[in-house]
Chains A and B, each alone.
Chain A
Amino acid sequence: MLIKIEDVTKTYSTRNGPIRALDPLSLDIKQNEFVSIVGPSGCGKSTLMMMLSGLVSHSTGRISIAGKPINGPYTDIGIVFQQDTLLEWRTVIRNVLLQAELRKLDMVKYTERARHLLEIVGLKDFENMYPHELSGGMRQRASICRALLHNPPLLLMDEPFGALDALTRDQLNVDLMRFWRESPTTVLFITHSVSEAVFLSDRVVIMSARPGRIEDVVDINLPRPRRLAIRETPQFLEYSRRIGRVFESSGILRED
């Protein structure tokens, strides 16, 4: 077992008193598993991810990665934050290479890899631009490249494709799938799109509204490699419907 999350809760203390973001939550993630989290806005998805990375502390419970308890920033990791965090004073490629710089990796080798990744996400001609010269979606794509640069054994992605149009989103879904097949890694993927979650994942975790709990976990037994066309198959639609029914039965989604 790679990741163990046991009875973890989170209470933020704010000016207006404590805010309970997560109720006790337990989840295990296997090595090289692709797990998606879906749930209503504000239910604590980002909080869960930040606690897993050790950047934000959990209030109670235990989190461990490969047997090691998480008590501070965990660095063997690649993170795509919900808001792209590009450094405005660095060009696109130097933003991506920041990862290699701080980890003291071979710059020549990783410059080549950075170029390759930028080409995959369609930013080949923009490597020498500054972030302010890019669109929101392009900025997010650059930060995805930065998270992937060092082939991290654990990849955390917080709504990485949220800012993209449907076409680019599909393309990047396909690219991410290919990347993940070629260099397997454990992925925790947060999204608002049920169909994106089903398409990408081995398992989809459905969370309830704040304070977040795990409402249900759905195993996705679709064959891999998956092509976009799989989204029209009855099995795929059945999975989407099942997740939708969980939202309805738990009151997350109400029609009247």
Chain B
Amino acid sequence: MTQAKELALPQMRATPSTWRRWLAQAETPYALISGLAFFLTWQVAVDAFDFPAYLLPSPLAVLKDLVLSWDLLLSETAVTLFEIVLGFIVSVAIAMPLAILFTYSRTFERLVYPIIVGTQTIPKVAVAPLFLVWFGFGLLPKIIIVTLITFFPIVINAVVGLKSLNMQTVYLAQSMGASPLQVFWRFRLPNALPSVFAGLKVAIVLAVIGAIVAEFVGADSGLGYLIIVAATDQNVTRQFSAILILSVAGILLFGLIGLLERQLLPWHSSVRRDALVDS
């Protein structure tokens, strides 16, 4: 007994000092530093070369616009964010059941898969004007476009994940008397989650693009609409404000999915922090 125990023990990692660990784990400080450096360079460049504001506004000018027009920007941001999130949720709600059907029915996959791939090759910008005719200026065409654009990576990754359960694990489940439903919930789905999250991460970034494309084509509110209006007014600073908000929103949404992934899948290697520290 003692032998087995002793053989087992001297295995685990050596703990690096706390601050090193923190530095290696935390990404935020690094992002802040590089972000700050970026804006500083931008500011200095604008000052030094004296760019006219209608070509490239300085970060300080953009900041001023953000502060002065915060209420307008906030309400437009809320509109776009709502489209992004709702479209994303609808997309997940359609894509996941579809992925499950694909996994369990080869026939269904053969029938429907080509259609999905086919629709995917059509650029969404090309069909957006059609939706304008069919569904008007409201929320619906935006949701449809966001869903269309995000749905493919979610399905593909979910199918890959759901199919990756190895035969031996199925055998294990069966030897324990697991029903097909239990095999799905306790084995197949958890096994697929890392892959599902990979799809969600791609999709959330695409969702931002989808919402803006939809607003460009026809909208009366939202950040995309704001950019179009600012462009006709030749208000470059306003355009930069909107772009800045969009990129921050994109980063936050992406980070949110990553956070959810870390909470739900603490075991998963791509979110395993000690792997980063040790290597």
Q: How many residues of A contact B (CB 8 A)?
A: 40
Is B4 touching A83 in the complex (CB atoms < 8 A)? no
Q: Which of A55, A79, A89, A123 contacts B8 (CB 8 A)?
A: A123
A22 → B minimal CB distance (Å): 18
Is A79 touching B4 in the complex (CB atoms < 8 A)? no
Q: Which of B11, B169, B174 contacts A87 (CB 8 A)?
A: B169
Q: Is A41 positioned at the interface, with any CB of B under 8 Å from its CB?
A: no
Is B267 touching A130 in the complex (CB atoms < 8 A)? yes
Stretch at the interface among A165-173, A195-203, A204-212, A232-240: A165-173
- Name the A residues within 8 Å of B178 (CB-CB): 102
Is A50 touching B171 in the complex (CB atoms < 8 A)? yes
A52 → B minimal CB distance (Å): 11
B116 → A minimal CB distance (Å): 28
Is B176 touching A167 in the complex (CB atoms < 8 A)? no
Is B4 touching A121 in the complex (CB atoms < 8 A)? yes
Given contacts A50-B171, A87-B187, A89-B193, contact A102 B3 (CB under 8 A): no
In the complex, which residue of chain B has the Cβ closest to the Cβ of A81?
Answer: B168
**Interface size for chain B: under 10, 10 to 19, 20 to 34, or 35 or more residues?**
20 to 34
Q: Which of B5, B175, B176, B267 contacts A89 (CB 8 A)?
A: B267
In the complex, which residue of chain A has the Cβ closest to the Cβ of B264?
Answer: A89
Stretch at the interface among A27-35, A62-70, A106-114, A132-140: A132-140
How far, in whole Å, are A102 and B179 apart by their CA atoms in the complex?
A: 9
Query: A75-97: which have CB < 8 Å to B?
Result: 75, 77, 79, 81, 83, 85, 87-90
A91 → B minimal CB distance (Å): 8
Is A120 touching B1 in the complex (CB atoms < 8 A)? yes
1/0 per residue, CB under 8 A from A, across B15-49: the answer is: 00000000000000000000000000000000000
Q: Is B114 positioned at the interface, with any CB of A under 8 Å from its CB?
A: no
Is B1 touching A89 in the complex (CB atoms < 8 A)? no
- Name the A residues within 8 Å of B173 (CB-CB): 102
In the complex, which residue of chain A has the Cβ closest to the Cβ of B178?
Answer: A102
- Name the B residues within 8 Å of A83 (CB-CB): 168
- Name the B residues within 8 Å of A126 (CB-CB): 8
Determine the main DSSP class of B at the interface with A.
Answer: helix
Is A132 touching B267 in the complex (CB atoms < 8 A)? yes
How far, in whole Å, are A122 and B6 apart by their CA atoms in the complex?
A: 8
A179 → B minimal CB distance (Å): 13
Q: Is A9 positioned at the interface, with any CB of B under 8 Å from its CB?
A: no
Is A73 touching B1 in the complex (CB atoms < 8 A)? no
Q: Is A224 positioned at the interface, with any CB of B under 8 Å from its CB?
A: no
Is B169 touching A85 in the complex (CB atoms < 8 A)? yes
- Name the B residues within 8 Å of A172 (CB-CB): 4
1/0 per residue, CB under 8 A from A, across B245-279: the answer is: 00000000000000000000111110010000000
In the complex, which residue of chain A has the Cβ closest to the Cβ of B175?
Answer: A79
How far, in whole Å, are A147 and B5 apart by their CA atoms in the complex?
A: 20
Is B175 touching A87 in the complex (CB atoms < 8 A)? no
Q: Is A116 positioned at the interface, with any CB of B under 8 Å from its CB?
A: no
- Name the B residues within 8 Å of A132 (CB-CB): 267, 269, 272
Given contacts A75-B176, A102-B178, contact A89 B190 (CB under 8 A): yes
How far, in whole Å, are A202 and B131 apart by their CA atoms in the complex?
A: 76
B273 → A minimal CB distance (Å): 13
Q: Which of A81, A120, A168 contacts B3 (CB 8 A)?
A: A168
- Name the B residues within 8 Å of A53 (CB-CB): 171, 175
6 further A-B contacts with Cβ under 8 Å, apart from A122-B4, A130-B266, are A75-B175, A85-B172, A88-B268, A102-B186, A135-B11, A172-B4
Could you list some 17 contacts between A and B, CB below 8 A? A73-B175, A75-B175, A85-B171, A87-B169, A87-B191, A89-B193, A89-B267, A101-B186, A102-B173, A102-B186, A103-B177, A120-B1, A124-B5, A130-B266, A138-B11, A167-B3, A171-B4
